[in-house]
Each structure stands twice: as structure tokens, then as C-alpha cells.
Structure 1
């Protein structure tokens, strides 16, 4: 579990130059709850800074999860250590293929919290600046291991090391990675996202509907 503090950096997209992307591990307990609408509210984790409210935070992006196994993969490719939280993730998971989680899939974390997968994560210039890797946005997009954004269904407290149990998996087959590809490089996949229904991130749902309408569907 990782939290970020607002820090002034030269690569932030914000006018004031601050970002909370550099998240660091904490033991907890940390309160997790739905933060409120995007554009107004930030992170779903108490004490976690989200500075660019235009693109980050809000109920449908309350928590970001990324697999430790994918970080290990990137460590080999980049030839450098990548500690938990360095991709801006709140949850660094073990033994869970986060990018292949289904939209609407629900996770119980510890004894109280239930989260629901809404979408993959689209990389930004702040992410690239934070890692200091040239062409990072394109490299991350090409790899397609997007991690997953989640909304809070049942609030509560979590701690580092709490088990994650998948308590519901829908039957539609639309994964976070598919959603990510559909809204970035493979727009022909957009109609397939509609099978995920209201569980899908509202912005992705709107894109899918607009695409289908433009195709005369």
C-alpha cells in the first residue's frame, strides 16, 4: 500500500508544478472511501495526494493497482530498481494479474473494503517525467500492462499485506487491458466495451457509445 505527498517537480502538468505521483509504502491502517466526483475529489485513500484533479482521482479512479510482477518485468527491461509505488499505484499486488482483471470485478481487501475495477490507466507526461525514461508514454502504451483503476464499493480500513480476494467476476470478458487498448491504440475494440455496462468508467463508456453511433451501430 502506497501513499503520495504533494511535491513540486519540474515535470508536473499542473500550473503550480506539484504532483502526488511519487507514492511511498506505508503500513497503515489507512481509511479507504469513495472520494467524490472527478474534478472535485482526489484519492480514495486518506492521506494520499492527487494534485491534477482534471485527469486523476474521483469515485471511478479512487484507487490505482499495479502488479508487482509487472514492476519486476519493467525492472528487467529498464535495468533499474522499481520500488513499490513508483508507478503511482496505491496498491502493489502480488499473485494477481491486475491488467487482466475484468471491468466490474470486485476485490475484498482485508475484512472490510470492497473495490470494483473500472478501467486501465492511461500514462501521462507527468508519469514519464517521474520515471525519467524517454518515450515512456509510448513504451507503456505499447506493452499494454495498464494496471487497473477501482471504485470503492464498501469503505473501511486496509493495511499493508492484507489479502486480496476476488469475490465477483462478471461474464463479459472485458478486461482492464482491453479497455486500455480500446481507448488508446485499438479503437475498433470500443464496441466490445459496451458489454461491461455501467461498471465501465463513464468516460470510456461515453467513448464507446460515441464510436458505435458514428459507425451507424
Structure 2
């Protein structure tokens, strides 16, 4: 099966019941998105998707969280468990993929999507805004225990991404350290965190963040 972009999604700032500040988590399919390197989390442009809103730049956005990708297959699995339809963009993702196991990606893996080049940087960490948006009991714990979070991507070559664009994995590092493994390290697996730190496979900002949690 050819890996493709099923949907490209963006959002504007909106209120979320139970959340104090407006959020851009409610993403909706659009015809196309333009992606670029937004620079650092603090003082940069926020989202790597032009005209895509981020409510809290303290925790979201920046170079290593420029674009968020989730597999349609993962949304379908959750939909069956929750007993509800989950539309493309429901997890706040900018890219809903088809035919690609996003959560099998290694940190540092690179994808050619249309004319853009994206690099896998790490997992999405669930937060209270995500839980409020989903409206499911104990959502943060359930999502974290499942451990397949989708992947945050950096933009290494800017451009436009459209629905049905092919996704080609043009580089896989081969170290075997995947996004779910990074998530476990981030969630407190100290032995796994040391593996990542010793391997020095993370972008510097993510390496420094993980080291600070020792």
C-alpha cells in the first residue's frame, strides 16, 4: 500500500469547554497547507503550518514540533474503542496519513512529502486541553498507556502539502529508537531515557529537555 496524505488540517484559536485559554487544537481539513521552519519554541513563529494557530507556545510549536502527524489507522482503532467516529484532524494533527505506521518511525527518520522534507523528532505528550477536547474519561492516562501518540515533525525543506501527496521514507537511521520509545522515556522510564541520551539521536533541544528530567 502506498503511503499518502489522507488529509491536511489546520485550526484557528477557539474556546474549549473547561480550558481557560483559547486553543488551536480543533483542526479541520483544508485544501492545502504551507509548511516552514517556525524557529525556536520561544520567540519563533509557533506552528510550522502557515495560518495554523497554537494557543500555548510554552508547550507547543517550535522547530521540533512544527507539524504533527497521526495515522488514520490509529484514529480508526481509537474510534472502535470509544464507539464514535473520529474525523481527520480530531487529535489536533496537521497531517492525517494513510498506509504509513507513523508510530513505527525512528527519531531522525526523514519523509519526502510532495516537495517538502520532514524529519521525525518525537511524540506528542497528552495534556489537559487534549483531554477536554476529546471529552473522554481519564483520557490523558488512557492515551499515555496506549503509547502510540503520532509524531511531531521538523520542516527541513519548506513547501506545500496537499491531500493525496505520496509519503516516501527517504532516510531511516537504523538505530531502532522509535517515537513510542521516546515517549516512554519522556514519561519516566529512566533506563530508556539514558539509552536515548547516550545515543545522542535526539535534536539538541529535545536532548536537553530529556536530560533536564533526570
Report what 2:80 is aligned to. Answer: 76
Decide whether aligned partners of structure 1 residues 196 and 119 sit closer, same or farther in structure 2, where only a CA change above 3 A counts: farther
Aligned to 2:3: none
Change (3 A) 1:202 1:125: farther
In structure 2, do the counterparts of structure 1 residues 185 and 69 end up closer, same or farther at CA, with 3 Å as the change threshold?
A: farther
3-state secondary structure, aligned to 2:52: coil
| CA RMSD between the two structures | 1.6
Q: For residues 103-118 of structure 1, what are the structure 2 equivalents within 5 Å?
A: 103-110=107-114, 112-118=115-121
Give the paired residue count: 206
* Other-structure match for 2:36: 33
Whether the 8 Å CA contact 2:16–2:129 is kept in 1: the answer is: no
2:27 is aligned with 1:10: no
Is residue 28 of structure 2 the alignment partner of residue 21 of structure 1?
A: no
Structure 1 residues 161 and 105: CA distance shift in structure 2, 3 A: same
Task: Determine which of 178, 192, 201 is the counterpart of 1:189.
Answer: 192
Q: Bigger shift: 120-129 or 92-101?
A: 92-101
TM-score normalised according to structure 1 size? 0.90
Give 1:9 shift: 2.3
From 76, 87, 92, the counterpart of 1:88: 92
Structure 1 residue runs without a partner (length 5+): none
SS of the aligned residue for 2:148 comes to coil
Deviations 1:38-91 (A, max 9, x none): 023311111111110000001110000011111000001000000000100000
Distance in 2, matches of 1:132 and 1:83, equals 15
CA drift of 1:161 comes to 1.4
Do 2:64 and 2:152's aligned partners in 1 also have CA atoms closer than 8 Å? yes
Work out the CA distance in 1 between the residues paired with 2:149 and 2:168: 20
Q: CA deviation at 1:208?
A: 4.3
Runs of 4+ in 1 over 4 A off after TM superposition: none
Q: Does 1:177 align with 2:180?
A: yes
Q: Distance in 1 between matches of 2:210 and 2:35?
A: 30
Classify 1:107/1:57 alpha carbon distance in 2 versus 1 (closer, same or farther; 3 Å). Answer: same
1:97-149 CA-to-partner distances (Å, cap 9, x unmatched) read 11110000000001x10000000110000000000011000000000001100
